[in-house]
Amino acid sequence: MSENYQALKKDLEHKMVVSLDHVKKEFGGLRTGRATTGLLEPVVVDAYGSKMPLNQVASVSVPEPRLLSVSVWDKGLAKAVEKAIRDANLGLNPMADGTLIRVPIPPLTAERRAELSKVAHKYAEHARVAIRNVRRDGNEALKKMEKDGDISQDDHRKHSDEVQKMTDQFIAKVDEALTTKETEITQV
C-alpha cells in the first residue's frame, strides 16, 4: 500500500470526523425541553467595546432540569449579558439578580418540537452532503494517483471500496446522532 494512499486515507477520515463533530455541535444548540449549557453557546455579549462569546464573561451551569444559571464575573456586565440572552432569539426570558442571571427554560409546544425536528434533519443532511463531498474528493485523488502510475487499477478499485465503506460508517454515525437528538426533542 502506497504512502500517498495512507496520507490520503488519513486526510479523508479527518475531514469526515470534522463534519461529524460539526453536526453534533449544531445538534447541541437545538433546544430540547431540558436545560443544557450548550444552549447559550451562540450568545454574544457587547463587553469592553467588543463582541465576546458568553463563556468569556460568565459561567453557565444547570442547577435544575428546566433552569440555566449564568454567573457574570464582572458586575458591570450583568445587564449586557441579560440583554444578549434576550436578543439571541432563543425564546428565553432571563431574570437578573445581581451578578446571577436565571434563565428558565419554557416547555416546548408540539408545533415547536416538529420545527426543531425539521431543523435537526436539515443539519444532518448538510453533514451527509459534506461527507459525500469528502468521498468525491478522495475518489478524484485516487483517479489521479492511478493516472500518474502511483497505484494500479486493482488498487484503485480496492481503495475506492475502502473510501466508500468509510463514508457509509460516518453517514451511519450522523444518522445515529440524528436519531438521538430526535428522541430528545420529542421526549415530553
Question: pLDDT for 116-130, tens place per residue?
Answer: 888 889 999 999 999
Residues of the chain with pLDDT > 90, as a percent, come to: 36
The cell 445587564 sits on which residue? Answer: 79
Residues 90-111 have a mean pLDDT of 84
CATH of 37-104, one of 3.30.70.2750, 3.30.1360.40, 3.90.110.10, 3.40.50.720: 3.30.1360.40
Residues 149-162 have a mean pLDDT of 91
Question: Rounded to 5 degrees, what are φ and ψ at 137?
Answer: -60, -40
pLDDT at 33 over 70: no
76's grid cell: 458591570
Residues 90-114 have a mean pLDDT of 84
Strands 67-72 and 58-64: antiparallel
Indicate the pLDDT class of residue 188, thresholds 50, 70 and 90: low
pTM value is 0.68
Residues paired with 25 in a beta bridge: none
44's grid cell: 454574544
- Beta-carbon contacts of 105 under 8 Å, excluding residues fewer than 6 positions away, are 31, 33, 34, 35, 39, 66, 67, 68, 92
Q: Domain spans of the chain?
A: 3-29+109-186, 37-104
Indicate the pLDDT class of residue 167, thresholds 50, 70 and 90: very high
CATH of 3-29+109-186, one of 1.20.1440.230, 3.90.600.10, 1.10.132.20, 3.90.950.10: 1.10.132.20
| Contact status, residue 47 vs residue 150, Cβ threshold 8 Å | no
